[in-house]
């Protein structure tokens, strides 16, 4: 018993140090931080299976690819347009949901209840997206498109309040930064698990339909293309069901074990309208700079989306390599994430973001020149030299990825206090809706560029070897890498104008508290005079 108690005490002390919390001080506690982070795993299980694999499910499993038209468009082009339009539509729903969060008044708070209410609807819609029975015609494409649009709306209803919850749990920028660091690490772990294992599973179950080419690529035998597609359909469905079953309890843990302390709505408080919240949004100039940076940076990680999977599946002839490709950014991202509190203290969030993204642009530019456009392959003997350099560059690219994953959330949290200082209103919901908007625009751009690169490569999934050309592979590489270079450079420009430092955030919080104290003192004085 004593050993168990000792372990619990040691873990408790470790947790308090990790989250920067103090026992029983009325502020956020480690149990809340762990629970919030665990919910992020479930959220990213579902987000990643949709974001990374629904497009491949539609092109390679359902058959909406270069071999089939949807109306007047090639199927793969229709899928690219769907991913762009639907995700942009979804992204611009986020401010609406943010405004709804800011108007929510329940006994659970204004953010927490959505984790409880929306878990099952999200699970149901996720499974419906991967049903294998959509007909291979225009009607089938419209059906799966509508299901996907509904999924995106349902997911938004939980996604916006999940990230907004971090600002209602505490207004201490250091504690909130620590919380978001751990939560983003858990979210990355959830996304990484799906990214690694899904291609391994689909690669294994379809192995019997493939053959090995003379240059070592494993490609689908055209004679078994139909069987391969059908197997993929049911495999993706089973994967979606399993991930949903695992994820739903994790949403509930996040709801049950967290507490909202800041920005609560009093019973007599007037609820803000959507129009009013939009005006607040545009008064928050610091937030607008973050949003602009996020939009310009939407193509930074194109290769981690669908385009990267297509590249591994056809250019490298190894679908399982996609997991390795995307996980190469993890070591650098993990180190950068762990160092975020130190980097923030040493250089501030702003300059850590700018410096890391300049590094990312340089690394990706080096990657670009590791491709031999004359041969349609990596440079060097059997492509070895180019591949090795690309691996090193990918490790470096993980650094800005890790920093961005944490610091943009923390910076948006700081802009909530800036807005409250400027206007007297916090509006966490609509402010954090901008982060989910940024994420979804990035997913939209990433999916669109990836699928269009696949289309421009001219590769047919039913006869990959016969449809691959050096020119097609060059186009695939060009779009996946050069777009990333330009995006890395563009996203740092707005951040030069961002002005909230850590000292300024603490000053903002202190000023807000002084105003509240003065207001309460004035109300007390008025009440005394009336008596």
The CATH number covering residue 279 comes to 1.20.1250.20
> CA-CA-CA-CA torsion for 195, 201, 207, 211, nearest 10 degrees?
10
pTM of the model: 0.81
Bridge partners, residue 212, by sequence: 218
- CB crowding 13-25: b at 16 or more within 10 Å, else e: eebeeebbbeeee
The pLDDT score that the predictor gives to residue 10 is: 87
Query: Residue with structure tokens 């499910």?
Result: 57
Asked if 154 and 122 count as a contact pair (C-beta separation under 8 A), the reply is yes
Length, in residues, of the chain? 531
**295 lies in a domain?**
yes
**266 lies in a domain?**
no
Q: What is the per-residue pLDDT across 120-159, written as a single tens digit (0 to 9) for each? A: 999 999 999 999 999 988 999 999 999 999 999 999 999 9
The pLDDT score that the predictor gives to residue 268 is: 54
- CA dihedral over 449, 326, 161, 177, signed as positive or negative: negative
For 110, the token pair is 């204004």
**19 lies in a domain?**
no
Looking at the structure of the chain, the number of domains it has is 1
The pLDDT score that the predictor gives to residue 530 is: 64
- For residue 320, the enclosing domain spans 29-260+274-525
**16 lies in a domain?**
no
**231 lies in a domain?**
yes
For 229, the token pair is 């597609």
Q: What is the per-residue pLDDT across 68-124, written as a single tens digit (0 to 9) for each? A: 878 778 888 899 899 888 888 888 888 888 888 888 888 888 899 999 999 999 999
**133 lies in a domain?**
yes
Residues 6+ apart with CB under 8 A from 128: 147, 151
Average pLDDT over residues 264-287: 78
The pLDDT score that the predictor gives to residue 320 is: 85
Q: Mean pLDDT lowest for which of 57-61, 65-69, 200-204, 269-273?
A: 269-273
Q: How far apart are CA 513 and CA 262, in angstroms?
A: 12
The pLDDT score that the predictor gives to residue 381 is: 77
H or E segment to which residue 211 belongs: strand 210-212
pLDDT at 59 over 50: yes
**477 lies in a domain?**
yes
pLDDT at 189 over 70: yes
H or E segment to which residue 51 belongs: helix 30-56
Banded pLDDT at 267 (limits 50, 70, 90): low
Banded pLDDT at 216 (limits 50, 70, 90): confident
**17 lies in a domain?**
no
């Amino acid at each position: 018993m004593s050993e168990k108690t000792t372990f619990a005490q040691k873990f408790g002390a470790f947790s308090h140090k990790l989250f920067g919390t103090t026992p029983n001080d009325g502020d956020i506690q480690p149990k809340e931080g762990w629970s919030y982070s665990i919910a992020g795993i479930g959220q990213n299980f579902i987000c990643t299976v949709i974001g990374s694999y629904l497009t491949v499910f539609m092109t390679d499993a359902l058959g909406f690819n270069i071999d089939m038209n949807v109306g007047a468009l090639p199927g793969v082009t229709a899928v690219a347009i769907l991913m762009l339009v639907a995700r942009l539509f979804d992204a611009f729903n986020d401010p609406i949901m943010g405004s709804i969060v800011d108007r929510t008044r329940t006994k659970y708070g204004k953010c927490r209840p959505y984790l409880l209410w929306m878990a099952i609807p999200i699970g149901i819609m996720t499974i419906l997206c991967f049903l294998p029975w959509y007909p291979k015609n225009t009607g089938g494409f419209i059906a799966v498109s509508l299901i996907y649009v509904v999924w995106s709306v349902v997911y938004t209803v939980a996604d916006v309040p999940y990230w907004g919850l971090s600002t209602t749990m505490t207004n201490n920028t250091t504690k909130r930064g620590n919380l978001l660091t751990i939560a983003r690490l858990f979210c990355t772990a959830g996304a990484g698990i799906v990214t690694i294992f899904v291609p391994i599973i689909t690669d294994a179950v379809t192995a019997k339909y493939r053959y090995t080419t003379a240059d070592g690529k494993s490609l689908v035998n055209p004679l078994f293309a139909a069987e391969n597609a059908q197997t993929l359909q049911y495999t993706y469905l089973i994967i979606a069901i399993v991930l949903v079953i695992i994820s739903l309890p994790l949403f509930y843990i996040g709801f049950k074990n967290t507490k909202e302390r800041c920005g609560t709505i009093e019973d007599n408080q007037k609820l803000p309208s959507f129009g009013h919240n939009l005006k607040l949004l545009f008064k928050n100039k610091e937030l607008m700079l973050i949003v602009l940076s996020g939009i310009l940076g939407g193509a930074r990680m194109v290769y981690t989306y669908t385009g990267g999977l297509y590249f591994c599946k056809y250019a490298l002839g190894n679908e399982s390599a996609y997991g390795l490709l995307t996980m190469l950014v993890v070591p650098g991202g993990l180190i950068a994430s762990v160092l975020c509190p130190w980097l923030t203290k040493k250089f501030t969030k702003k300059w850590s973001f700018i410096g890391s993204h300049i590094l990312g642009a340089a690394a990706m530019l080096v990657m670009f020149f590791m491709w031999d456009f004359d041969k349609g392959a990596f440079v060097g003997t059997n492509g070895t030299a180019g591949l090795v350099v690309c691996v090193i560059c990918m490790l470096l690219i993980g650094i800005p990825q890790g920093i961005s994953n944490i610091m943009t959330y923390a910076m948006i949290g700081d802009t909530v206090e800036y807005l409250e200082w400027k206007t007297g209103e916090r509006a966490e919901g609509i402010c954090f809706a901008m982060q989910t908007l940024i994420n979804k625009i990035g997913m939209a751009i990433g999916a669109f560029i990836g699928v269009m690169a696949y289309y421009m490569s001219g590769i047919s999934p039913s006869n990959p070897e016969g449809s691959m050309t050096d020119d097609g592979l060059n186009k695939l590489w060009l779009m996946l890498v050069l777009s990333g270079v330009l995006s890395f450079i563009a996203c740092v420009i707005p951040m030069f104008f961002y002005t909230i430092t850590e000292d300024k955030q603490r000053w903002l919080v202190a000023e807000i508290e002084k105003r509240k104290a003065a207001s309460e003192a004035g109300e007390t004085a008025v009440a005394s005079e009336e008596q």
